[in-house]
Amino acid sequence: MGVAATADTQSGDHIAPMVPEKSPLCALPLDSWHRAQGARMVGFAGYEMPIQYEGIMAEHLWTREHAGLFDVSHMGQISFTGTGVDAAIEALIPVSLSTLPVGRQRYSLLLNEAGGILDDLMIARRSDDIYMVVNGATKYDDIAWMKAHLPQDVILNLMEDQALLAVQGPEAVEALSQIVPGVEGLVFMQADAFLWNGHALWISRSGYTGEDGCEISLPASIVTDFADALCALEAVRPIGLGARDSLRLEAGLPLYGHDLTPEISVIGADLGFAILKRRREEGGYIGHERVVADLAGGPPVRRVGLTIEGRLPAREGCPIFAGERQIGHITSGGFAPSVGGPIAMGWIEASLSAAGTALEIEVRGKRIGATVAPMPFVPHRYHRVKN
Amino acid sequence: MSRYFTDEHEWIDVSGDIATVGVTDYAQCQLGDIVFAELPEEGKALSKGDDAAVVESVKAASDVYAPVSGEVVEANSALEADPALINSDAEGDGWFFRLRLSDISELDGLMDRAAYDAFVAGL
């Protein structure tokens, strides 16, 4: 049996092959904790990371029903300070900081001059700095690129002594509030500082599963004790990268390096919501011309969701056809445990991207039926403010 | 009936000139939750080492190679409805396909249970 994956062998920041990477990998602060929990470790984004504990399917469903703990300490946590930091960041990325108060977080993107996506990220205002979280596989490139474009008065600090955890699921906030009282007061995309045993935490109500939950930035020195305290609660179990990927796919959330790359634009990637009206109109960030052009003329390619007939998963790289003509390819796909069948995301010609369009995907020489589907595939359950 | 094992984590039961092929419990454990199995068609001639089947877990697709040469006489249709049988009973009801062996001598040099267990223990 070939243990290596076949045509859909993944590359970059995604589910890694089961064979560990050859290059030296860094250990996460929770490395021994993961192994003690029975994790199977794989190389991912330069780190040895847990791909699964008891099994992807069980972990996925546990997160949708209860609460899952994810270690995402490989991601880059960056602090920006200095004179003119707001203006300097606005000149770089399309986020609107003028309307971002302390304790609010937004999703944004790092774009190149041509408007291609270099990374996607979260950005929050704290009382003493601007806090950004970028993808693990891209963090050093992002930092080099940002440093090259930021004025000298702005100080960029990669917070290498901080770990990052996510607790996700319908019981996540209730569980977290048992050890960090007060987090239940946050709403989606709100964040605040908290204390745990005298240690400073930064917690946002956000995540990458489509479920309610929080992301917790904390000193690496206490992350083992904190993970133990959370997993001592009945609702919380550790969840690996495998289920993280299937959960985010069902939630319609793109994965950088796969669904998002420099080859696709913000509007093409269906992420126009991340650029608020003032920034769309005034511009003043790198990549603006492309956003304007796409808004006016429409992008040539769009990221879409696809439901797939039958049981055969269509994975990254599979070509998508309209009749005999290839009109795109799958950028990520697999079996969706909560949907109970295969789903995918892909890039296709914009003229064929309307929901309901019938297409075909080729998997190992076989054509299977697929339909452009609205995303998310599983409804989001974020804790939003009710009017 | 004798059971043989390969270093590709397949098992082969031989009865007369018919070989039943599946993957080992160790293999299903490495693969994780299996959601689809693509099996060879009846009548297909396979040479040792050919791609014979594909097994899809939640995370990836993996090839299953023909451990010996022969003609496919039956594929396990139960796997179509319930591919998770490979997880729950890899070395029993989760078998993949049956071959009519074309070269019995290919069985020479395959491992028995004890040798395979020692092989897995050394991984």
CATH of the domain at B12: 2.40.50.100
CA distance A47 to A243: 18
Q: Decide if B55 is inside a domain.
A: yes
- With contact defined as beta carbons under 8 Å apart, do A242 and A52 qualify? yes
Nearest to B19 by CA among B51, B67, B81: B67
pLDDT over 70, % of chain A:
94
Query: pLDDT of A253-294, one tens digit each?
Result: 999 999 999 999 999 999 999 999 999 999 999 999 999 999
Alpha carbons A54 and A34: distance in angstroms, whole number: 12
- What's the mean pLDDT in A60-89? 98
Q: Give A-chain residues touching B60 at CB under 8 angstroms.
A: 5-6, 8-10, 15, 17-18, 315
Is B116 inside a domain boundary? Answer: no
Under 8 Å CB-to-CB from B107, ≥6 apart: which residues?
A: B4, B12, B14, B68, B101
Q: How many domains is chain B built from? A: 1
Q: Which helix (H) or strand (E) holds B85?
A: helix B85-88
Domain assignment present for residue B8? The answer is: yes
State the pTM of this model: 0.92
Tokens at A322, concatenated: 């309209």
Tell me chain B's radius of gyration from C-alpha atoms: 13
pLDDT band for A320, please (50, 70, 90 cuts): very high
For residue B54, being part of any structural domain is answered with yes
CA torsion sign, A218 to A221 to A224 to A229? Answer: negative
Tens digits of per-residue pLDDT, A188-215?
Answer: 999 999 999 999 999 999 999 999 999 9
Look at residue B94 and tell me if it is in a domain: yes
Tell me the C-alpha distance between A130 and A57, whole Å.
Answer: 37
Interchain CB distance below 8 Å, A335 and B58: yes
Structure tokens at B118: 């020692």
Record: contact B56-A335, CB cut-off 8 A: yes
What are the chain B neighbours of A58 within 8 Å (beta carbons)?
33
Within-domain flag for B115: no
CB pairs under 8 A between A and B: 80
| Residue A8, pLDDT score | 36
Average of per-residue pLDDT across A11-33? 65
Q: Which residue has the tokens 């009017």?
A: A387
Give pLDDT, residue B2.
Answer: 87
DSSP reduced 3-state for A230: helix
User: What is the rounded distance in angstroms from the CA atom of residue B49 to the CA atom of residue B109?
Assistant: 15
Confidence (pLDDT) at A3: 37
Residues linked to residue A343 through DSSP beta bridges, in sequence order:
A307, A334
User: Closest residue of A to B21, CA-based?
Assistant: A1
All residue ranges of chain B with pLDDT < 70 are 1
Q: A274 forms bridges with which residues in the sheet?
A: none
Closest chain A CA to residue B58: A335
Chain B residues whose beta carbon lies within 8 Å of the beta carbon of residue A3: 9, 27, 30, 62
A-chain residue closest to B49, CA distance? A1
Ordered by where they begin, the domains of chain A are 26-75+161-250 (3.30.1360.120), 302-378 (2.40.30.110)
Residues 6+ apart with CB under 8 A from A199: A218, A219, A222
The DSSP bridge pattern shows strands B45-46 and B70-75 to be antiparallel
Residue ranges in chain A assigned as alpha helix (H) = 31-36, 56-65, 85-92, 139-149, 172-179, 223-231, 241-250, 277-282, 288-297
Whole-number Cα distances in Å, A92 to A276, A286, A288, B30, B69: 15, 6, 10, 44, 61
Mutate to test the interface with A, among B59, B63, B64 (most CBs of A within 10 A): B59
Q: How far is CA A267 from CA A163, A177, A261, A289, A308, in A?
A: 32, 38, 13, 12, 24
Q: What is the pLDDT of residue A1?
A: 53
Q: How far, CA to CA in Å, does B107 sit from each of A19, B2, B4?
A: 28, 10, 8
Residue B112: inside a domain, yes or no?
Answer: no
User: In which band, very low, low, confident or very high, does the pLDDT at A10 lie, cut at 50, 70 and 90?
Assistant: very low
Tell me which amino acid residue A23 is: S
Q: Is residue B123 in some structural domain? A: no
pLDDT computed for residue A56 by the predictor: 96
pLDDT, position B20: 98
| Residue range A344-363: mean pLDDT, rounded | 98
Contact B58 A10 (CB under 8 A): no
> Which residue from B minimizes the CA distance to A315?
B60
Range of the domain at B55: 2-103
Decide if A335 and B36 are in contact by the 8 Å CB cutoff: yes
CB A272 within 8 A of CB A295: yes
- Residues of chain B found within 8 Å of residue A52, distances taken between Cβ atoms: 32
Mean pLDDT of chain A: 94
Written as one letter, the residue type at B96 is F
- Of the pLDDT bands very low, low, confident and very high (cuts 50, 70, 90), residue A22 is low
- Number of Cβ within a 10 Å radius of residue A85: 20
Does residue A376 have a cis bond before it (omega within 30 degrees)? yes
The pLDDT assigned to A23 comes to: 63
Give which of A1, A250, A316, A330 to mutate to test B binding, by max B Cβ within 10 Å. A1
Contact criterion met (CB < 8 Å) for A56 and B32: yes
What's the whole-number mean pLDDT along residues A212-231? Answer: 98
- CA–CA gap between residue A167 and residue A211 (Å, rounded): 10
**Rounded distance between C-alpha atoms, residue B58 and residue B61, angstroms:** 8
Confidence category of residue A227, pLDDT binned at 50, 70, 90: very high
| Closest Cβ opposite residue A311 in set B8, B35, B65 | B35
For chain B, the residues whose C-beta falls within 8 A of a C-beta of chain A are 8-10, 23, 27, 30, 32-33, 35-36, 38, 54-65, 83
Helix (H, G, I), strand (E, B) or coil at A249: helix
- Give the contacts of A274 (CB within 8 A, at least 6 positions apart): A94, A95, A106, A107, A108, A109, A266
